[in-house]
Amino acid sequence: MSSPEHPSSARAAFDPDQYDPETLAVRAGIERSQFGEHSEALYLTSSFVFNNAAEAAARFSGATPGNVYARFTNPTVTMMQDRLAALEGAEACVATSSGMSAILSMVMALLKSGDHIIASRSIFGSTQQLFANYFEKFGISTTLVDATDIAAYRAAVRPTTRLFFIETPSNPLTEVIDIAAVAGVAHEAGALLAVDNCFCSPALQKPLELGADIIIHSATKYLDGQGRVLGGAVCGRKAEMDEVLRFLRTAGPTLSPFNAWIILKGLETLSIRMEAQSARALELARWLEKQAWVDRVFYPGLESHPQHAIAMRQQSSGAAVVAFEVKGGRDEAWKLIDSTRMLSITANLGDTKTTITHPATTTHGRISQEARDASGIRDSLIRLAIGLESVADMQRDLSRWLAV
């Protein structure tokens, strides 16, 4: 992962092992061209030329390293991968076209028919559908377990279990899973642990340091950070990431260079955004707890959160998603949402603009009422993904419905 500061310079290469995360976020992964550009270049090219047939043959076979074709090699994508790997403390990273294709690529590369997955019940809805509707079709079965019950993970182990998959904190109820404890169970079973680190990002949580083997990202969220592009990534050991890259080279769910460039630049401000958005989330969560019209607030940074202690051990803040139940039901929740003027009514998260969502009728609207009840997603639940506006403005917007 060493990156020449300037190809023609005598300066030593940038060694990511010697720098702090804030520095890695702006400097890791840079590969300068012969022009010595300061800002990372955007290489909008689908293929690369060779000096002769022998060079082409050597590049295609992998005998010599270098770019070949943008389905699996592009310098802008490589820069983004190397920067994210440095931030996660991973040997390697493979970027993908979306968070969902990161999960697809990991499973296609590392599992086979007959294998078994154990996943936490609170994983993202599309991830659940990918496991239940598609992997199942090809003979890979999944058992969903209660996210925070470590004994349930152990009880679900079969001789064919190859992968544990968790997401922490979860969406939308912010359940926090003890990563080190689940890693222990996975490794006892001879399986890998993959953690979807979307809600925290490496700025707040380092799953590999806690024993996870693989990290999944929807780069669409905090890594971009401004709601512009779709992207994803798989990070982990080089041997396993080589397999994921082989799948990408064959099947093509590849990140575009333009999206990689946006995410690469997004990473530069990741830690200060996460810090500022988390601080606002904590202030707003504390305010919500005091409102007479709020039944319950879900935020890992609050002392009242059931897994507050675990969150404070494995995360450096409570992150930026806050959920709460308004007193009443769907009518009250919709009235509150419809009375806002500034907050964005949308299902995305990880943006500098705060978003407000009614999970029961949007993100979780396609699952049955029983499944929603089992997951604790009530009609009165509202999810906020906190951005960078002032907390006072957020409070004013959330209070407008009281005057209607």
Ligand X SMILES: Cc1ncc(COP(=O)(O)O)c(C=O)c1O
In the complex, the smallest distance separating the C-beta of residue 198 from ligand X, rounded to whole angstroms, is 4
In the complex, the smallest distance separating the C-beta of residue 258 from ligand X, rounded to whole angstroms, is 16
β-strand pairing of 214-218 with 192-196: parallel
Residue 222 in the binding site for ligand X (CB under 6 A): no
Q: Measured at the alpha carbon of residue 277, what is the angle toward residues 276 and 282, in degrees to the nearest 5?
A: 100
**In the complex with ligand X, which residue's Cβ is closer, 161 or 220?**
220
Q: What is the side-by-side strand order in the sheet with 294-298?
A: 294-298, 321-326, 381-385, 355-357, 344-345
Q: Measured at the alpha carbon of residue 91, what is the angle toward residues 252 and 278, in degrees to the nearest 5?
A: 90
The closest of 181, 194, 121, 115 to 154, measured between CA atoms, is 181
Q: Measured at the alpha carbon of residue 83, what is the angle toward residues 31 and 241, in degrees to the nearest 5?
A: 105
Residue 100 in the binding site for ligand X (CB under 6 A): yes
**In the complex with ligand X, which residue's Cβ is closer, 30 or 118?**
118
In the complex, the smallest distance separating the C-beta of residue 266 from ligand X, rounded to whole angstroms, is 13
Q: Of 158-177, which residues contact ligand X (CB under 6 A)?
A: 167, 171
- CA 166 from chain center: how many Å? 11
Q: Residue 71 forms beta bridges with which residues?
A: none
Residue 354 in the binding site for ligand X (CB under 6 A): no
Residue selected from 78, 142, 148, 218 as contacting ligand X according to rule CB under 6 A: 218
**In the complex with ligand X, which residue's Cβ is closer, 157 or 193?**
193
β-strand pairing of 294-298 with 344-345: unpaired
β-strand pairing of 116-120 with 161-167: parallel
What's the length of the chain? 404
Q: Measured at the alpha carbon of residue 314, what is the angle toward residues 308 and 317, in degrees to the nearest 5?
A: 65
**In the complex with ligand X, which residue's Cβ is closer, 100 or 117?**
100
**Within 10 A of 329 (CB to CB), how many other CB atoms are there?**
13
196, 169 Cβ separation under 8 angstroms: no
In the complex, the smallest distance separating the C-beta of residue 171 from ligand X, rounded to whole angstroms, is 5
Q: What is the rounded CA–CA span in Å between residue 371 and residue 64?
A: 52
**In the complex with ligand X, which residue's Cβ is closer, 74 or 201?**
201
Residue 232 in the binding site for ligand X (CB under 6 A): yes
For residues 119, 200, 268, 194, the Cα torsion angle rounded to the nearest 10 degrees is -20
**In the complex with ligand X, which residue's Cβ is closer, 105 or 220?**
220
Residue selected from 108, 185, 203, 230 as contacting ligand X according to rule CB under 6 A: 230
**In the complex with ligand X, which residue's Cβ is closer, 87 or 195?**
195
Residue 198 in the binding site for ligand X (CB under 6 A): yes
In the complex, the smallest distance separating the C-beta of residue 13 from ligand X, rounded to whole angstroms, is 32
Residue selected from 73, 74, 98, 375 as contacting ligand X according to rule CB under 6 A: 98
Residue 119 in the binding site for ligand X (CB under 6 A): no
Tokens 């599992």 found at = 111
Residue nearest to ligand X (CB): 99
In the complex, the smallest distance separating the C-beta of residue 131 from ligand X, rounded to whole angstroms, is 12
**In the complex with ligand X, which residue's Cβ is closer, 166 or 297?**
166
Near ligand X by CB under 6 A, which window of 96-104, 106-114, 206-214, 321-329? 96-104
In the complex, the smallest distance separating the C-beta of residue 232 from ligand X, rounded to whole angstroms, is 5
Helix, strand, coil percentages in the chain from 3-state DSSP, rounded to 5: 40, 15, 45
**In the complex with ligand X, which residue's Cβ is closer, 1 or 192?**
192
Six token digits for residue 272: 């200060």
**Within 10 A of 399 (CB to CB), how many other CB atoms are there?**
15
Residue 99 in the binding site for ligand X (CB under 6 A): yes
Name the residues that contact ligand X, by CB under 6 A: 98-100, 124, 167, 171, 196, 198, 218, 220, 230, 232
